[in-house]
Amino acid sequence: MSRKRLVEMARRNLAHVEAGTVDQAPGVYRVPPRTTTTRRASGSSSSASGKRVPLVLGFSAELRGPGTYRALQVADVPVLLTRGGDGQVRAFLNVCSHRGAIVVKEGTGSAKRFTCPYHAWSYDERGALVGVYKPDQFGEVDKSCLGLTPLPVAERAGLIFATLTPGATLDVDAFLCGYDEMLAHHRFDQCHVAAGRRSPGRTGRSPTTATSTSTTWPILHRDSFGTGMPSEALYDAWGPHQRVSFPNPFLRELATKPEDEWPVSQLIGGVWTIFPHISIADFDAGGKEDLHGVAALPRQDRGRVRHRAELPDTSEPDEGAQDRGRGS
């Protein structure tokens, strides 16, 4: 079903290539300028909303095997992700139950125990308090009530989603509206993380907003992409998530083949955003599919986090592949 949707989008794209058009809304949609200026002044893409909605906190590939973990800071909330011996990913506030210290410093690794650097309380991969240093000095400690605080978490399409509010309900399927079936074509579950980078500074716009205004690309972003970047774009939405693609003349070469031979790698180009803070730009880098996940929590985050995930190199280099992947 999701492949059928990719083919439909490619056919629509191709029709626009031939006609020199893009989709048009039925009319002009007017947004009062104060909507933007008020938001800018108040920073209304606030940490409060960021803590209510499910957020992608990483690739499943970052917690590849049992006993792996990732500690990170998200919207000023310290989070610990673990994958237990049962294969389940769990998320916790990375805050010690004793006196609130950060238990695990930011990074990834493997561990069966997480020991707080302050007074050496230790927790297992399920967040249970399993060790208290010199317990006779603490009096009676009910370990069963003093584990790390769990956060709602789920995995879909090789991505880890969590909500930063303890006790909140995480209905990730309702949130994704079937988008995970489309994201699965990126094969993040088969990727390894090749690189990660954090850029300092506040983010100006969320990826969803940035990719919704393609008309700015050859102007505002000419130093990054050059003036040849198209300003025309096609949009497809699944709830609050969207794929942005460009009329892509390279799709013409597909038109001569049966649809079931159209390679997925040529159907998934463009930018796929996951509301509110992730954009996935898919590039075919010379025969090796090269996927970029760009994560930027809106405004309150202090930077932009970028991960590059690569699929195993299983195909021959293909000249011109980069151009094809850029457009569709």
Q: How far is the CB of 141 from ligand FES (least distance, A)?
A: 11
Considering the complex, state which of residue 118 and residue 283 has its C-beta at the smaller distance from ligand FES.
118
Gap between the Cα atoms of 127 and 147, Å rounded:
5
- Bridge partners of 56, per DSSP, are 161
Considering the complex, state which of residue 142 and residue 260 has its C-beta at the smaller distance from ligand FES.
142
Applying CB under 6 A, what is the total number of residues that bind ligand FES? 8
Q: How far is the CB of 314 from ligand FES (least distance, A)?
A: 46
Binding track, positions 112-141, relative to ligand FES; x by CB under 6 A:
----x-xx-x--------------------
Q: How far is the CB of 104 from ligand FES (least distance, A)?
A: 11
Gap between the Cα atoms of 271 and 183, Å rounded:
11
Considering the complex, state which of residue 97 and residue 265 has its C-beta at the smaller distance from ligand FES.
97
Range 72-101, binding ligand FES (CB under 6 A): 96, 98-99, 101
Gap between the Cα atoms of 94 and 92, Å rounded:
6
Stretch that binds ligand FES, among 111-119, 159-167, 259-267, 298-306 (CB under 6 A): 111-119
Helix or strand run (H / E) with residue 162: strand 159-162
What contacts 24+ positions apart, CB below 8 Å, involve 164-171?
A: 164/50, 164/51, 164/55, 164/74, 164/75, 164/77, 164/79, 165/51, 165/52, 166/93, 168/52, 170/54
Q: How far is the CB of 118 from ligand FES (least distance, A)?
A: 4
DSSP-derived secondary structure for 175-222: HHTTHHHHHGGG-GGG-EEEEEEEEES--SS-HHHHHT-GGGHHHHTH
Gap between the Cα atoms of 164 and 1, Å rounded:
32
Considering the complex, state which of residue 133 and residue 283 has its C-beta at the smaller distance from ligand FES.
133
Considering the complex, state which of residue 14 and residue 96 has its C-beta at the smaller distance from ligand FES.
96
Considering the complex, state which of residue 121 and residue 250 has its C-beta at the smaller distance from ligand FES.
121
What contacts 24+ positions apart, CB below 8 Å, involve 221-226?
A: none
Q: How far is the CB of 99 from ligand FES (least distance, A)?
A: 4
Residues that bind ligand FES (CB under 6 A): 96, 98-99, 101, 116, 118-119, 121
